[in-house]
A and B are shown apart, each in its own frame.
Chain A
Amino acid sequence: MRGVVIAAALLLALPLGLAARRTLAGMGVDRPYDVRYLPDPKSLRFLSPGLQLTIANSYWLSTVQYIGERRPRERGMEKLFPLADLVTTLDPRHGYAYQTAGIVLSGEGRLEESDRILRAGIERGPGWWSYPLYLAFNAFFYRGDTEAAAFWAERAARTPGASTNLAGLAMTMKVRSGSPDDAVRLLLELREAAGDETTAAALAEQLKLAVLQRDFARLDAAVARYREERGRPPRALEELVQAGLLPALPEEPYGGRYYLDVSGVVHSSARDQRFKPQEPPRDPATNLPVGVKRPPAPPPLAPSPSP
């Protein structure tokens, strides 16, 4: 009898396993984590009396799964902003939702959405100083808009509890046109403020890109100087070190190496991406980047006495 039972169990195991696998495949278990439907945040806020916090937390857990998906490129990040907006509408004090969504969206190139959620954090959220700092980073690094970056960095520096290094950073952005070194400094400050692993990981990726741009800038400058001094480009980057123009060759952040092509242009073997900042959208009335207010005009000078 026992043998019959075991044989029956073994016979059933195969079709059962197959059925389970097909069912799970039909349910999308093999697909990247996604959220099918998101309700209107304001309606849900009204319809969830006494449970707004719980529902916000439930959607926050979905947001964490959505961000943490290992194959995000197959799915995209279209739902991240609606998810973060839903969480923060139900629970406006959810500080991490603004911060994490803001930095992940900017890393994905969704700058407008990143700016929107960060601005929402400033307007209705707990007002962490990291929000304007992220906005400064978006303006500076992705858009090359040092004016807007200086405005947001100054605002971050003025927020209570802000890092003391921010005032100097804001000043640097004001007086200089902005350099890749500033981007690296800004990212290091942001990483200090992150406070959680997911945001820190997103920042680490952006830091690699910033270090790549900084290294390209340094190597380009050294190559140009070498060309000026010798009248020809170097045959290899090592010649820059031998000529005393660089103390050592920088380590490529993506694990590859830097090399020179025949025309004397520096490349990376792992990620040969030269960053070209976008032109920020400008307000036609003021010709300033959207969201940046023109500083108050200085008081008119008193008429100088006529000689």
Chain B
Amino acid sequence: MTAILAIAGVTVRDALRQKLAVNLLFFALALIAASLTVSELTFGEQYRIIGDLALSAAGIFGTLIAVFLGAGLVAGDVQRRTLYPIVAKPVSRTSYLLGRYLGLVATLLLNLAVMAAATVGVLALYRGGLGALPGRTLAAAFLGLAVQLVAVGAIAILFSSFTNTTLAAIFTLALAVSGHFARDVFVFWRERPLLRSLGLVLPNLAALDFKVAVVYEDPVPGSQLLWALLGGLLYAACATSLAAAVFARRDLR
């Protein structure tokens, strides 16, 4: 456990030093702040523009950070050969992978917390106070976003465990985008159970997207939120387990 936490700590420190991740976070924050100005271009429904733009920026840039950081973690260590001194120590490959993944999740949640604070700040500025915001719905939206990033990070680690950084990033991005089609797969192949089961392979990111609820200030039912969060976390757990199994059998010579 100590080894896992140590590797996670190193991963967070490495990630915070990476220019790409910091730049993406900067752009997300700039877009969130700009949503106040962009909303001036409309009339009547400025709140919807600010809420949507800020949450979209957090979602898109959070996903990009998850993809590019996650894809390079294991594959990058293999390519740079920095993995060998670690596995030569009494640290199992699973512990190494879990440490890397936990570090990635901690970094993503830290980034998301910064973006969430900026979003809430901008919305509170527009509405004239925190009390005027749909607090529970906003919390549900950011919880959903957090689990989305946890799932995308797990997919990135899975691909990173058996291929190179570039391919892992491409595969992860493709699966993250297709995750928003998961519901459509179930609807489209309603009559064909075999093809319909393909929907289970995709991460159901659409179920974790509560932007519309924030924009229209709809309450998110507790059971719907819990099932969606549970589904996302279980998907991430499956992907990480698969990554550990693949990585344990990988020939590193």
Which residues of A pack against B, CB within 8 Å?
46, 49-51, 53-54, 57, 60-61, 64-65, 93-94, 96, 100, 195-198
A-B pairs with beta carbons under 8 Å apart, 12 shown? A46-B184, A49-B184, A50-B205, A50-B209, A54-B56, A57-B49, A57-B52, A61-B42, A64-B41, A64-B42, A64-B43, A65-B41
**Contact A49 B180, beta carbon cutoff 8 Å:** yes
**Contact B43 A49, beta carbon cutoff 8 Å:** no
**Contact A61 B180, beta carbon cutoff 8 Å:** no
CA distance in complex: A49, B48 (Å): 18
CA distance in complex: A196, B181 (Å): 36
B interface, over-half SS: helix
B30 within 8 A of A: no
**Contact B41 A197, beta carbon cutoff 8 Å:** no
Q: How far is the CB of B186 from chain A (nearest CB, A)?
A: 13
B45 within 8 A of A: yes
**Contact B38 A61, beta carbon cutoff 8 Å:** yes
Query: A51-B56, A54-B56 are known contacts. Are A96 and B180 too (CB-CB below 8 A)?
Result: no
Question: How many residues in B have their beta carbons less than 8 Å from beta carbons of A?
Answer: 23
Closest 3 CB pairs of A and B: A49-B180, A196-B44, A50-B180
B215 within 8 A of A: yes
Query: A64-B42, A96-B45, A197-B43 are known contacts. Are A53 and B215 too (CB-CB below 8 A)?
Result: yes
**Contact A53 B211, beta carbon cutoff 8 Å:** yes
**Contact B41 A50, beta carbon cutoff 8 Å:** no
Q: Which residues in window 163-216 of B have CB below 8 A to A?
A: 177, 180-181, 184, 205-206, 209, 211-212, 215-216
Q: Which residues in window 199-249 of B have CB below 8 A to A?
A: 205-206, 209, 211-212, 215-216
**Contact B41 A196, beta carbon cutoff 8 Å:** no
- In this complex, which of A51, A57, A65 has the most chain B Cβ atoms within 10 angstroms of its Cβ? A57
**Contact A50 B59, beta carbon cutoff 8 Å:** yes
Residues of A close to B53: CB separation below 8 A: 54, 57
